[in-house]
Amino acid sequence: MRSSLTHFATSYLTLGCFHENKGAPIRMFTSNKWKSSRFTKTNDGKTVEDVDLEKKFWTNIITCLKGASPLIEALQLVDLDQKPVMGLIYEPMDQAK
């Protein structure tokens, strides 16, 4: 993706990537290596582990992505340089609403 197409959606794209790869942080926080790490004893380490292993965290990411996806798609169409978008924007804008 071009940066100009996604400059408004970076946070949502990051959330999407994080959700696609959610198995890695979950495996990390449940591994023996993490359990023996010095970070598990810090308040920040405990907080990050608790948030990452909480089901509500992952549910909230999905909710955020479902809400943002239609708007991101509509904004990407508007940001296109190659072709006029007015005729193509009505359906995505209705979905974004």
Q: Residue 77 — very low, low, confident or very high, per pLDDT cuts 50/70/90?
A: confident
- What is the average per-residue pLDDT within 25-29? 92
Higher pLDDT, 87 or 6: 87
Torsion of CA 47, 12, 18, 29, to 10 degrees: 0
Residues 6+ away with beta carbon under 8 Å from 9 = 68, 72, 75, 76
Structure tokens at 57: 């965290």
What are the sequence ranges of the domains in the chain? 3-96
Instruction: State how far the Cα of 55 lies from the Cα of 71, in Å rounded to an integer.
Output: 26
Model-level pTM?
0.67
